[in-house]
């Protein structure tokens, strides 16, 4: 057992050995019954007496100056309580907020929007990366549309290329994906005197609290953000949203609660997306596969935002002495991109891993061997420090066995017939070490009931259950015995649920608090049992003498000895210095390509990950399955389509923006490498939110290459692209 | 229904209706819900533009007879969520693309966002709230818990209703049958693989009882 009791020591305590009874097993969610009976309350379901509906008037232009706004006709509509102008000057993307109303019901609010008179002076726009980079393209901001985003270099790429025996250069493209959480974005705002409470469909109650306080110029102490359940976020619900501020303003002005729910169309056009990336990689290698030089030029278009860097995987994963990276933002008149499950890494991995597949073919090498050839055990970027744990070699081994890797076409496209099979793989790196300083309180009541109170939130990963599992394990109880209280900014600080941070931040904080509670129970029980505290064991709903187990108190009776409720403060500590903490994984995919229709069917995906200790096998598997499914969906179907001539968005619904359904899903085999990282935290666990999303699209694209012998360097790999690629191949031969 | 202009029926508000008729014909929960919602601001608050002539409907919701006056344009989903406080069915796309609002109409799965409430007159509606019998969950619900057949849970009520509809008429579904039955529902977290396993498990449980 870890002995650290919050002494503030710098290094992480030893992670406990795997004598856990609950941690690491498959534990069904403690709130499962709520979810399957429809009782889980989402922001969409919040309703108050006297509540008004807020609606937002949005710019119909991709770029325009607002000349005038007349709210009066809307205000005079019966049932409308107030109307606000929320934007002056220039609107820079379709769907940007212009004005808002609050009315007694949704229909009246919608009607009122139609009555608001806005005079626009429409201006020229550029919607796509290509258009925005053209000579003389309309300038989106006050500076040129193309701006340096990031650069990196080590060694000398020119020298590396001159040493190479094989050199290739390829360009890869990923298009704009939309998060489309099933629950559209929304907030309900209510003031009680000067205290604001907002129920928000958010991934971060704490950051929305801070953001709202700033936006409204009131103290954080006067803002409470609450949310019990949320229907998906994937990055689009991190941080404060502009409509939440509007809801708070409308509520303030009317003195009544105001609910704003965005429509699916609004969710398509103005709450973020994954930016598009055009990435050119050039590399040199020796005949044996040793990389001598690597360069990446990345252009990323995140609309009015800066887009995503895509270079981290290329900089970090493989051993290569000479690396050069240049990345540029390209501004356009669409809404700002936002973090989207593994921002940058998904795009960068699609390019990097696709490139390695092509390089392997050029070298006549097994693509898996090429990756192993350039394997490294330290972070190859700036730090050069060793990875604390890197189970990637094990991922390769288990994945290759799981998919039966030797079945692949030794030469890409070697198969015959109309339907061609192929195997492909891709590697993943991500952070996922969690955030030191995360807090959790464990309240032990005198009747033996236990509460864990933490300002985190469950975004669907099963955080409630994870907390219950850790507390129950440590106190010898069942997960159902723990009353988990989360989703409220009044609770002790925890980071937003993004970046695969939650499990390695919250888990260790809860563990810390529960260990303190166990120590205290041992002290009070020792007196009662007439033994030394060191001889007391807390397990199996009892507190007992380790030398004489029948000398025992029930957990309840031991808690009674505390006489009143006692709160134990837990904190996630700093990890040991001098090590890099990253997650690793490798996906192996099998596909079948119909060479007549161009349709790709994914048959099987073996997804292997090294994330330190797995806390709940059941929910961890779901994370992997979800990551693979989203990666498949992006690889085959997803793309936002805009119309440059009218400045509008074409596919703003879930019919025209296609996402994968049950029918598209192959056999998915999640595997976890047996691993614990004792240097990182008291549980030895890392995060899992992002990792399974990262290599999924790339592995499928590489399998397609292996099947048909021509690499499709752009996702989504829709049938038209597949057929064009096959045609090109035919013409070449 | 378009002929009736709202102004004609200005006085026939939900509240006036309730005051006039007393509680007898309505389920107790419905009355308290509606009175609670309308009590504070009453008539002056009505969004008049949105009000059409109401029609009285009687239908069975989760085994209980309910009589309500609804506007002809109101969807079944809105009536379930806003009038009956049954918020399990979700409004995810509001145009029959995602299945988040799936309920059973006389045992058939429908997108309640695309069916008008008046069409439910005389019919039986089952929502996710009506599946469990007392403390005992429906086998599909239990299987979703056991298999972790969800993540954020927002689409789950719709998937569960689509699954129940399948198993009501097919006791031995193949994986392909299950995938087809669920293909009208979207799960953005992407947990289909676990849901299809859960439905297979539930089918097994239902065959035993």
Choose the closest CB to A108 out of B47, B132, B191: B47
Q: Is residue A447 part of a domain?
A: yes
DSSP notation for A435-494 = -TT-EEEEEE-TTS-EEEE-B---SSS-HHHHHHHHHHHHHT--GGGEEEE-SBTTSSB-
Choose the closest CB to B40 out of A33, A49, A180: A49
CB distance B196–A181 less than 8 Å?
A: no
CB distance B137–A461 less than 8 Å?
A: no
Give the gap in angstroms from C-alpha A663 to the nearest C-alpha of chain B.
5
Examine the fold and report which residue of A215, A232, A261 is the final residue of a domain before the chain moves on: A261
According to CATH, the topology of domain B139-208 is DNA polymerase; domain 1 (1.10.150)
Find out whether B105 and B115 touch, Cβ atoms under 8 Å: yes
Q: Is residue A151 part of a domain?
A: no
Q: Tell me how far apart the alpha carbons of residues A656 and A645 are, in angstroms, rounded to a whole number.
A: 19
Q: Is residue A613 part of a domain?
A: yes
CB distance B195–A29 less than 8 Å?
A: no
Choose the closest CB to B47 out of A79, A183, A618: A79
Q: Are both A555 and A616 inside the same structural domain?
A: no
What is the structure's pLDDT at B15? 33
Q: Is residue A16 part of a domain?
A: no
- Residue A612's domain comprises 276-378+402-410+583-732
Find out whether A559 and A447 touch, Cβ atoms under 8 Å: yes
Q: Is residue A684 part of a domain?
A: yes
CB distance B137–A184 less than 8 Å?
A: no
B-chain CB neighbours of A665 within 8 Å are 179, 192-193, 196
CB distance A622–B98 less than 8 Å?
A: no
Give the 3-state secondary structure of residue A65: strand
Q: Are both A249 and A297 inside the same structural domain?
A: no
Q: Are both A447 and A480 inside the same structural domain?
A: yes
Q: Which of residues 4-33 of B touch A (CB under 8 A)?
A: none
Could you tell me if B143 lies within 8 Å of chain A, comparing CB atoms?
no
Find out whether A644 and A255 touch, Cβ atoms under 8 Å: no
Could you tell me if B190 lies within 8 Å of chain A, comparing CB atoms?
yes
N residues, chain A: 733
Q: Are both A53 and A36 inside the same structural domain?
A: no
CATH of domain B6-130: 3.10.20.30
- Search chain B and give the residue with CA nearest A604: B193
Total domain count, chain A: 3
B-chain CB neighbours of A184 within 8 Å are 92
CB distance A28–B152 less than 8 Å?
A: no
Residues in chain A with pLDDT values less than 70: 1-18
What is the structure's pLDDT at A474? 98
What is the structure's pLDDT at B46? 58
Q: Are both A630 and A714 inside the same structural domain?
A: yes
Examine the fold and report which residue of A208, A228, A261 is the final residue of a domain before the chain moves on: A261
Q: Are both A589 and A668 inside the same structural domain?
A: yes
Give the 3-state secondary structure of residue A723: helix
What is the structure's pLDDT at A382? 78
Q: Are both A625 and A495 inside the same structural domain?
A: no
Q: Is residue A393 part of a domain?
A: no
Listed by start position, the domains of chain B span: 6-130, 139-208
CB distance B193–A665 less than 8 Å?
A: yes
Q: Are both A444 and A565 inside the same structural domain?
A: yes
Residue B36 is classified by DSSP as H
CB distance B97–A461 less than 8 Å?
A: no
Helix B175-182 / helix B192-208 crossing angle, nearest 10 deg:
120
What is the structure's pLDDT at A181? 98
Q: Are both A562 and A601 inside the same structural domain?
A: no
B-chain CB neighbours of A621 within 8 Å are 148, 194
Q: Are both A549 and A591 inside the same structural domain?
A: no
What is the structure's pLDDT at A17? 54
Q: Are both A442 and A522 inside the same structural domain?
A: yes
Q: Is residue A163 part of a domain?
A: no
Q: Is residue A139 part of a domain?
A: no
Residue A687 is classified by DSSP as -
Helix A502-529 / helix A463-475 crossing angle, nearest 10 deg:
30
Beta bridge partners, A580, equal: A387
pTM of the model: 0.93
Q: Which of residues 150-189 of B touch A (CB under 8 A)?
A: 150-157, 160, 178-180, 182-189
DSSP notation for A412-439 = TT---SSEEEEEEEEEEEE-----TT-E
Residues in chain B with pLDDT values less than 70: 1-51
- Search chain B and give the residue with CA nearest A178: B188
Could you tell me if B39 lies within 8 Å of chain A, comparing CB atoms?
yes
Find out whether A81 and A254 touch, Cβ atoms under 8 Å: yes
Q: What is the CATH number of the domain that holds A654?
A: 3.30.365.10
Q: Are both A516 and A472 inside the same structural domain?
A: yes
Residues 6 or more apart whose CB falls under 8 angstroms from that of A364 comprise none
B-chain CB neighbours of A656 within 8 Å are none
Choose the closest CB to A182 out of B92, B132, B142: B92
């Amino acid at each position: 057992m870890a002995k650290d009791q919050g002494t503030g020591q710098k290094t992480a305590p030893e992670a406990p050995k795997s004598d856990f009874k609950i941690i690491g097993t498959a534990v069904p969610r403690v709130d499962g019954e709520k979810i399957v009976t429809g009782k889980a309350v989402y922001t969409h379901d919040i309703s108050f007496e006297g509540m008004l509906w807020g609606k937002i008037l949005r710019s119909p232009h991709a770029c325009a100056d607002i000349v005038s706004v007349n709210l009066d006709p809307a205000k005079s509509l019966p049932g409308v309580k107030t109307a606000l102008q929320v934007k002056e000057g220039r609107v820079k993307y379709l769907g940007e907020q212009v004005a808002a109303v609050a009315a007694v019901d949704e229909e009246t609010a919608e009607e009122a929007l139609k009555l608001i008179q806005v005079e626009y002076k429409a201006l020229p726009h550029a919607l796509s990366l290509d258009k925005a980079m053209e000579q003389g393209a309309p300038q989106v901001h006050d500076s040129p549309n193309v701006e340096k985003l990031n650069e990196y270099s080590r060694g000398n790429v020119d020298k590396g290329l001159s040493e190479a025996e094989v050199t290739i250069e390829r360009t890869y493209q990923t298009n704009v994906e939309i998060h489309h959480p099933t629950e559209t974005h929304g907030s309900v705002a209510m003031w009680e005197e000067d205290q604001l409470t907002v129920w928000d469909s958010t991934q971060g109650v704490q950051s929305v609290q801070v953001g709202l306080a700033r936006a409204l110029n009131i103290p954080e102490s006067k803002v409470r953000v609450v949310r019990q359940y949320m229907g998906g976020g994937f990055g689009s619900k991190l941080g404060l949203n502009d409509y939440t501020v509007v809801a708070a303003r409308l509520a303030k002005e009317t003195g009544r609660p105001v609910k704003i729910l965005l429509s699916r169309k609004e969710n398509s056009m103005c709450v973020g997306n994954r930016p598009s990336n055009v990435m050119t990689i050039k590399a040199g290698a020796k005949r044996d596969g040793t990389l001598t030089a690597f360069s990446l030029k990345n252009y990323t278009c995140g609309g009015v935002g800066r887009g995503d860097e895509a270079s981290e995987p290329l900089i970090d994963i493989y051993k290569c002495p000479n690396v050069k990276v240049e990345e540029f933002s390209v501004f356009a008149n669409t809404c700002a991109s936002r973090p989207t499950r593994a921002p940058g890494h998904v795009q960068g991995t699609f390019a990097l891993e696709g490139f390695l597949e092509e390089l392997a073919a050029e070298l006549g090498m097994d693509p898996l061997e090429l990756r192993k050839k350039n394997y490294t055990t330290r972070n190859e970027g700036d730090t050069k420090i060793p990875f604390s744990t890197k189970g990637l070699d094990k991922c390769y081994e288990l994945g290759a066995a799981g998919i039966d890797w030797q079945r692949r076409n030794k030469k890409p496209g070697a198969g015959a017939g109309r339907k061609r099979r192929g195997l492909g793989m891709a590697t993943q790196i991500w952070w996922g070490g969690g955030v030191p300083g995360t807090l959790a309180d464990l309240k032990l009541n005198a009747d033996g009931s236990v509460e864990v109170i933490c300002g985190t939130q469950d975004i669907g990963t099963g955080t409630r259950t994870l907390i219950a599992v850790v507390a129950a394990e440590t106190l010898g109880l069942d997960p159902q015995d723990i009353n988990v209280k989360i989703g409220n900014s009044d609770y002790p600080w925890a980071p937003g649920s993004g970046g695969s941070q939650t499990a390695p931040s919250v888990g260790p904080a809860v563990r810390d608090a529960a260990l303190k509670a166990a120590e205290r129970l041992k002290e009070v029980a020792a007196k009662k049992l007439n033994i030394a505290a060191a001889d007391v064991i807390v397990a199996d709903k009892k507190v007992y003498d380790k030398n004489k187990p029948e000398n025992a108190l029930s957990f309840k009776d031991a808690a009674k000895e505390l006489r009143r409720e006692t709160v134990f403060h837990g904190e996630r500590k700093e990890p040991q210095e001098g090590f890099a903490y990253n997650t690793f994984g490798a996906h192996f995919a099998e596909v079948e390509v119909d060479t007549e229709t161009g349709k790709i069917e994914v048959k099987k995906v073996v997804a292997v990950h090294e994330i330190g200790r797995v806390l709940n096998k059941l929910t961890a598997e779901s994370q992997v399955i979800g990551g693979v499914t989203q990666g498949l969906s992006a690889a085959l179907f997803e793309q936002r389509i805009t119309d440059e001539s009218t400045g509008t968005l074409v596919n703003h619904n879930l019919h025209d923006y296609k996402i994968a359904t049950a029918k598209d899903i192959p056999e998915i085999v999640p595997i976890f490498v047996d691993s614990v990282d004792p240097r990182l935290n008291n549980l030895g666990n890392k995060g899992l939110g992002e990792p399974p999303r990262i290599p999924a699209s790339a592995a499928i694209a590489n399998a397609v290459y292996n099947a048909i012998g021509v690499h499709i360097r752009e996702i989504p790999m829709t049938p038209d692209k597949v057929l064009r690629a096959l045609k090109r191949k035919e013409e070449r031969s | 229904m378009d002929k009736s202009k709202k102004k004609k029926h200005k006085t026939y508000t939900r509240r006036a209706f309730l005051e006039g008729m007393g509680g007898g014909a309505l389920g107790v929960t419905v009355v308290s819900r509606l009175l609670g919602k309308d009590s504070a601001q009453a008539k002056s608050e009505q969004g008049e533009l949105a009000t059409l002539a109401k029609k009285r409907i009687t239908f069975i919701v989760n085994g209980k007879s309910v009589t309500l006056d609804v506007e002809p344009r109101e969807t079944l989903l809105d009536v379930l969520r806003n009038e009956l406080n049954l918020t399990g069915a979700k409004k995810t796309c509001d145009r029959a693309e995602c299945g988040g609002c799936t309920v059973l109409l006389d045992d058939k799965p429908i997108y309640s966002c695309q069916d008008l409430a008046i069409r439910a007159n005389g019919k039986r509606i089952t929502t996710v709230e009506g599946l469990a019998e007392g403390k005992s969950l429906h086998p599909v619900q239990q299987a979703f818990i056991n298999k972790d057949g969800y993540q954020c849970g927002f689409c789950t009520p719709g998937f569960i209703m689509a699954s129940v509809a399948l198993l009501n008429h097919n006791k031995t579904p193949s994986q392909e049958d299950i995938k087809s039955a669920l293909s009208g529902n979207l799960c953005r977290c992407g947990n289909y693989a676990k849901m299809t396993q859960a439905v297979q498990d539930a089918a097994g449980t239902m065959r035993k009882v």
